[in-house]
């Protein structure tokens, strides 16, 4: 993988005003993936929005790791249910047009 696909943890933490231990705690709890390349740790740019959301929940809203885990799980369920509803509405629309 190319280095343009990653952001170093130390830069991420500095820009968001959090300690590296916050990222470590989120990683230990399985909420965030950190890539280790050589001696440094990185976050994938494709996961940057998720990492920022987690940091806001943990730091700004003062939600503990267990609470964040529940929130993320519920958001994933809502997203899945919305997709299912869309599929069902599309199928229903086929019958309503006739």
Looking at residue 45, the DSSP 8-state letter turns out to be G
Q: Model pTM?
A: 0.76
* Structural domains of the chain, ranges and CATH numbers in brackets: 3-96 (1.10.1660.10)
Q: What percent of the chain has pLDDT over 70?
A: 95
CA distance 7 to 41: 9
Q: How confident is residue 98, by pLDDT bands cut at 50, 70 and 90?
A: low
Instruction: Please state the rounded mean pLDDT for residues 19-36.
Output: 92
Q: Which of 23, 67, 76, 80 has the alpha carbon at shortest distance from 48? A: 23
Q: For 3-97, where are the E strands, in sequence order? A: 6-8, 35-37, 40-44
For 24, the token pair is 């470590």
In total, the chain counts a number of residues equal to 98
Count of CB atoms situated within 10 Å of the CB of 9 = 20
| Predicted local confidence at residue 3, as pLDDT | 57
């Amino acid at each position: 993988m190319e280095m343009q696909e990653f952001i170093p943890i130390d830069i991420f933490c500095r820009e968001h005003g959090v300690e590296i231990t916050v990222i470590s705690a989120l990683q230990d709890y399985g909420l965030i993936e950190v890539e280790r390349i050589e001696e440094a740790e990185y976050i994938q740019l494709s996961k940057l929005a998720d990492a920022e959301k987690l940091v806001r929940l943990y730091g700004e809203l003062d939600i503990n790791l267990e609470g964040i885990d529940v929130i993320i799980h519920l958001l994933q369920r809502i997203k899945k249910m919305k997709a299912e509803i869309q599929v069902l509405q599309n199928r229903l629309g086929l019958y309503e047009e006739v």
